């Protein structure tokens, strides 16, 4: 399992129509085959500068690679992510097996 998450902030302010449009637009990523447990999140720690989060899980690296190169994903990046996101940090978690 790979849990792919990204913390981010938008160029548009909280409560703006663009915030709503962006967060709604992320939902299309759920349609990419292999995406599991898709979540839209609000980042609330005061020790962290980002305002939002997305989280999804893939069963393996192949499914993750398929997501990354899928046209739905690449179109979303061009239309929304690149122009509207001010800053972000990607984090990928895999289970620790001792």
> Nearest distance from residue 29's CB to a second copy, in Å?
14
Q: Which is nearer to a second copy, 41 or 86 (CB)?
A: 41
> How far is C-alpha 95 from the geometric centre of its chain's CA atoms?
19
Q: How far apart are CA 60 and CA 87, in angstroms?
A: 27
- CA trace torsion 50, 53, 19, 23 (10° rounding): 170
Binding segment for a second copy among 10-18, 20-28, 65-73, 79-87 (CB under 8 A)? Answer: 20-28
- Token pair for residue 42? 């609000």
Query: Which residues contribute to the site for a second copy (CB under 8 A)?
Result: 2-4, 7, 20, 23-24, 39-45, 47-48, 50, 52-53, 55, 89-96, 98
């Amino acid at each position: 399992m790979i849990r792919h998450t990204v913390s981010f902030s938008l160029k548009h302010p909280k409560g703006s129509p663009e915030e709503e449009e962006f967060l709604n637009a992320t939902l299309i990523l759920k349609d990419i085959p292999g995406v599991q447990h898709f979540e839209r999140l609000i980042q609330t720690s005061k020790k962290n500068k980002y305002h939002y989060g997305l989280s999804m899980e893939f069963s393996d690296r192949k499914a993750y690679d398929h997501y990354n190169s899928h046209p739905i994903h690449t179109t979303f990046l061009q239309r929304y992510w690149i122009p509207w996101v001010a800053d972000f940090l990607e984090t990928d978690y895999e289970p620790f097996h001792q």
